[in-house]
Chains A and B, each alone.
Chain A
């Protein structure tokens, strides 16, 4: 593979290695309807993930709740607004807020999305698809390095769901993701649901995707529910994890080992118990994978 030729390749050890302490554990995405219950009852969830930007505030009750919960639950910060792949310069103020939050809550993991969300100074506040080109790969590789330098730690980068591909793309998504991990020094947050959704939306083989990803680069897995809309699958995070996605997840565990796994639910958020049951299903699969690995 010659993709790295002529590109400035950052040494992979420029930032502290990603924390592997959540290996073998299933967690849930912390959403506001469940915060009161979690604080009062401290249910046995292994870890929590939050959207970083929701805690960028200078102070206030949301941040206080996070300070409180992190005494009992390891945290993962999951960014949705860095616009990692945008051609615009990185937003230094955004980066500084992420660094401030990471210093405050000492997360086990910090992740961002492999996407862009604005250009020309305007933001669309959504996870928009990248054209998978050599230029985009070089650009994102450099930007991952800038983010890791700014916050002083290795980040995880997540593959996103997408509904269209650019005709100009020259690299299959799975190769783009794999090359980014090899050359930027980041780890991967592999969203198995997004792979499944994209396999349907773009007509590729999800297992071929998994096979292209370096075994040692995956440090977290996401699971969520999608909804069908005509010929497309929409990554709504508003439904239980689909049976086909559980099956793909099992195959991902066989390849990547029992990586920390998160259940995400953002739309029509159900009772906490429903989310906890999804996490328990993931946990049983992680436990089974762990037993085989030993």
Chain B
């Protein structure tokens, strides 16, 4: 079951997680918004080590402002965005500001 609805503000957890993981370091700790609930997938961070990848994890598409990802050093336009796929265990909801 997916826990996070479209439009939810989320933060990417900065987990200490060695080995195979599918959440790049550059988005960890950054805040974005759920733009799509893709659905359940076998957990690739488990599959990589020969397990069955169960329980399945919900995959989301999260949209970030590039200014949020890179701060003041982003040289593009203010409206530029980054969409990335992140599994639920890497996400936590953020209270509205």
Bound pair (A, B): no
